[in-house]
Amino acid sequence: MDSRRSRPMPTEPGILAFHERCEAFYPADAVNASIEQQRRWYDALCAEFDAASPAGLTRRDELLAGRIPIRHYRPAEVATAVRVLYIHGGGFVVGSLESHDAICAELAHGARAELISVDYRLAPEHVWPAAFDDCFAVLASLLADGRPLVAVGDSAGGNLAAGLVLKAMAEGLSGIVGQVLIYPGLGGDLVSGSYAEMADAPGLSTADVGYYRKVLQAPADSVFAHPLRANALSGLPPAYITAAHFDPLRDDARIYAARLVEAGVDVTFREEPQMIHAWLRARHMSSGAREGFRRLVDGVARLVGSV
């Protein structure tokens, strides 16, 4: 039987149209192609979903420590001293400052907060812990001036954001006042729960997740690479965690949110019932994604204190 016919699918017309449009640029079996081809496809996909920049928002690029590209976003109205550190997704293999530019711009604008995006090194050229080290270097540099921040990431970036928060706590680094994890991959077992139920979900399969983990080469016992392995969660900053129902990574978000709550952390958790992985890009064509993005912006705004 063709697994694509039997795989779980949402019913919302907007998200189905989004998925069809995505596969025209980034085929379901993209991970079987060369890294160079995957990146060309992904760049074309991201360009397809580009959006107009919010009025009055400015951007500034720089190299941190002479080697890590970062992009500063400053919206026309800034209502808080707290900044947002955004870490993009892409399976640790694809993605850049450009791939998530429109998302970062709209998030900064909606939350009325300055935002900094990181262009970390990608695998397989740079395996674990290169991406993590780049992001932590940016985090430490931003916190050095005494201004607090909220760490945000989607998918692989959600993994990195969660790991950064854990490392910051382990090293006594203060100033992170919130964490926002958007359909994050946090180290689930690949065989149970949503990894089995949504193994062939549209947009991301369990086999894809396994591929990205293999490429990254993160040690299995690292809690920074696999935050679900962490036991010491008390004292972590408040969290906003959002999952997509039709996503093999769904239960990573569910389980981590529950464990944070058990540890006494203030958590807001949303599971978008009709969404698939990477639904952020559908925010202008799907009613569910539009509402999910609105809630996400509100969640970030509360954490940065702009509302």
Name the residues annotated as catalytic: 155, 247, 277
Burial of 146 (0-12, 13-18, 19+ CB in 10 A): exposed
What's the number of CA atoms in the CB half-sphere (13 Å) around residue 83?
21
* Contacts of 185 by beta carbon, 8 Å cutoff, 6+ apart: 155, 156, 158, 159, 209, 212, 249, 252
Report the alpha-carbon angle 115-250-235, nearest 5: 60
Spatial distance between the Cα atoms of 112 and 120, rounded to a whole number of angstroms: 25
In whole angstroms, what is the distance from residue 4 CA to residue 200 CA?
A: 7
Nearest to 104 by CA among 128, 83, 120, 126: 83
> Any residues with CB less than 8 A from the CB of 220 and at least 6 apart, and which?
226
The answer, yes or no, to whether the previous bond of 124 is cis (omega within 30 of 0) is yes
Question: Which residues are within 8 A (CB) of 245 and not within 5 positions of it... i.e. 6 or more apart?
Answer: 10, 271, 272, 273, 274, 275
Strand order in the sheet with 58-64: 58-64, 68-74, 115-118, 83-87, 149-154, 176-182, 239-246, 267-276
> Residue 61's closest CA among 50, 47, 49, 71?
71
How many whole angstroms separate alpha carbon 260 and alpha carbon 237?
A: 10
